[in-house]
């Protein structure tokens, strides 16, 4: 009997020790964050709300202190093949760094930021960034040497790609969302297979953003971009730049200026291209600035306006604005009028003017020796 009790005690102790060693779930990954790990499918699931924990801090001198060993799933990091994130608003700094076996990650809508080094040094081959993400942090996907495919939704809200975010990846193409306004220093450094990229109007481009992109053929820069003095340092790509922007002395000798037709078509030399993507791919308008070329260019402007969702609420309304602008008509939005689509997007409306005294005499009510002046 005593032997049986002893065996039972040993089994109980062993089971308790095994559970402690495996440790496959917990509520210690954020403000309201629950994690669980399926040992059969090698899937880590993150659920909850609010921010995930960042496994990095900074001392008084601003020096970064990295503590990925504090991740509750750190003992499983080399086994994780799949990750699912749902409900939280961020993917925490260094959350999955060095997850070498990680092949897939599913990020649900609602996540707004992917923090510092969150998915660096993983085995990811592709990822879809949800529309809700507005920022991709420093080194977020750094040295993911198998990562060849990144996709964004048509309603992406991504605004910033920080320093070295995609450095040393296997990307071949990168279609920047319309919402993107910042590309940080070295963001695509040593992405050796990257061939073409288009940069949206008004985007700020940091120093050496594309250095080491050996296979890069074309970079097409949009209007009103803000360029670091060495934005193109270290790339041999042909850089197509709006004449008005002046890309000279930005670290490259391969600057090719282009002009923009009122339809939005791009002109390089005697050749026309309906869109920036067509220019990047070398797809010319056959026959020059034909009606088909103009229509394609205008349709591109319409889709960009629709994606912004700010100046018109339907495709038809956006189409009306684009075509009115193309034909040189005054654009009217509510009580305000605009000389052009560019003025509309920059908020430069046509100010109301005051009637002259002579006009006021005809249209205003006389009160004593003065007139109540009206606005047109």
pLDDT higher than threshold 80 for residue 18: no
Lowest model confidence (mean pLDDT) among 207-211, 234-238, 322-326: 234-238
Q: What is the edge-to-edge ordering of all strands in the sheet holding 160-161? A: 90-91, 113-114, 135-136, 160-161, 182-183, 204-205, 226-227
Question: What's the whole-number mean pLDDT along residues 327-351?
Answer: 86
> How confident is the model at residue 313, as a pLDDT?
85
What does the pLDDT look like over 45-55, one tens digit per residue? 999 999 999 99
Residue 333 and residue 326: Cα distance in Å, rounded? 16
pLDDT higher than threshold 80 for residue 344: yes
pLDDT higher than threshold 90 for residue 234: no
Quick check: is 315 in a domain?
no
Report the Cα–Cα distance between both ends of the chain, in Å, rounded.
104
Supply the range of the domain harboring residue 118: 23-281
Which of the residue ranges 82-91, 223-232, 244-253, 320-329 has the most confident prediction, judged by mean pLDDT? Answer: 82-91
Residue 108 and residue 137: Cα distance in Å, rounded? 18
Residue 141 and residue 197: Cα distance in Å, rounded? 18
Question: What's the whole-number mean pLDDT along residues 114-120?
Answer: 97
What does the pLDDT look like over 264-308, one tens digit per residue? 999 999 999 999 889 988 899 999 999 999 999 999 899 888 877
> How confident is the model at residue 354, as a pLDDT?
57
CB atoms closer than 10 angstroms to residue 74: 13
Domain count, the chain: 1
> How confident is the model at residue 17, as a pLDDT?
41
> How confident is the model at residue 353, as a pLDDT?
62
Quick check: is 58 in a domain?
yes
> How confident is the model at residue 370, as a pLDDT?
53
Quick check: is 61 in a domain?
yes
Question: What's the whole-number mean pLDDT along residues 141-156?
Answer: 92
Q: Which residue has the tokens 């959350």?
A: 95
> How confident is the model at residue 161, as a pLDDT?
97
Measured in whole angstroms, the distance separating CA 277 from the mean position of its chain's CA atoms is 17
Quick check: is 134 in a domain?
yes
Question: What's the whole-number mean pLDDT along residues 218-240?
Answer: 83
Token digits of residue 361: 């005499």
0.75 exceeded by the pTM? yes
What does the pLDDT look like over 49-75, one tens digit per residue? 999 999 999 888 889 999 999 999 999
> How confident is the model at residue 153, as a pLDDT?
84
Helix (H) or strand (E) holding 239: strand 238-242
Token digits of residue 249: 């002395």
Quick check: is 138 in a domain?
yes
Question: What's the whole-number mean pLDDT along residues 206-229?
Answer: 84
Quick check: is 97 in a domain?
yes
> How confident is the model at residue 118, as a pLDDT?
98
CATH assignment of the domain containing 192: 3.80.10.10
Show Cβ contacts of residue 52 under 8 Å, excluding neighbours closer than 6 positions: 29, 30, 33, 46, 88, 90, 91, 92, 95
DSSP helix/strand/coil, 36:
strand
- Higher-pLDDT residue of 362 and 163 is 163
Confidence of residue 16 (pLDDT cuts 50, 70, 90): very low
Quick check: is 260 in a domain?
yes
CB atoms closer than 10 angstroms to residue 174: 19
Quick check: is 7 in a domain?
no
Alpha helices in the chain (DSSP H): 2-22, 276-281, 291-308, 315-326, 341-346, 357-363
Angle of helix 315-326 versus helix 291-308 axis, rounded to 10: 130
Confidence of residue 196 (pLDDT cuts 50, 70, 90): confident
Residue 217 and residue 235: Cα distance in Å, rounded? 9
DSSP string, 310-373: SS-SSHHHHHHHHHHHHTTPPEEETTEEESSHHHHHHT-BPPP-BPPHHHHHHHS-EETTEE--
């Amino acid at each position: 009997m005593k032997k049986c009790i002893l065996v039972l005690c040993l089994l109980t102790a062993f089971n308790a020790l095994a559970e402690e060693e495996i440790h496959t779930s917990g509520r210690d990954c954020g403000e309201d964050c629950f994690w669980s790990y399926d040992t059969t499918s090698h899937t880590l699931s993150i659920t909850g709300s609010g921010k995930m924990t960042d496994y990095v801090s900074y001392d008084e001198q601003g020096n970064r202190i990295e503590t990925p060993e504090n991740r509750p799933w750190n003992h499983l990091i080399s086994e994780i093949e799949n990750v699912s994130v749902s409900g939280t608003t961020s993917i925490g700094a260094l959350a999955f760094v060095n997850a070498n076996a990680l092949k897939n990650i599913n990020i649900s809508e609602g996540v707004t930021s992917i923090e510092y080094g969150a998915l660096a040094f993983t085995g990811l081959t592709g990822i879809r960034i949800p529309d809700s993400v507005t920022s991709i942090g420093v080194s977020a996907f750094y040295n993911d040497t198998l990562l060849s495919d990144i996709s964004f939704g048509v309603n992406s809200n991504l605004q910033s790609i920080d320093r070295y975010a995609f450095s040393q990846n296997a990307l071949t193409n990168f279609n920047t969302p319309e919402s993107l306004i910042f590309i940080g220093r070295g963001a695509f450094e040593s992405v050796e297979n990257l061939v073409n990229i288009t940069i949206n109007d008004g985007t700020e481009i940091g120093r050496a953003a594309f250095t080491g992109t050996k296979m890069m053929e074309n970079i097409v820069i949009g209007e009103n971009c803000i360029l670091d003095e060495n934005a193109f340092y270290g790339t041999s790509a042909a850089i197509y730049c709006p004449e008005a922007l002046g890309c000279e002395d930005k670290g490259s000798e391969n600057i090719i200026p282009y002009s923009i037709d009122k339809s939005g078509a791009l002109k390089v030399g005697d050749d026309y291209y309906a869109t920036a993507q067509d220019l990047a791919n070398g797809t010319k308008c056959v026959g020059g600035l034909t009606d088909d070329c103009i229509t394609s260019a205008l349709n591109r402007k319409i889709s960009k306006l629709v994606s912004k969702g700010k100046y018109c609420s339907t495709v038809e309304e956006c189409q009306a604005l684009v075509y009115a602008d193309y034909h040189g008509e005054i654009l009217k939005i509510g009580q305000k009028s605009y000389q052009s689509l560019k003025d509309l997007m920059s908020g430069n409306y046509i100010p109301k003017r005051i009637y002259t005294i002579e006009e006021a005499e005809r249209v205003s009510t006389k009160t004593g020796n003065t007139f109540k002046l009206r606005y047109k």
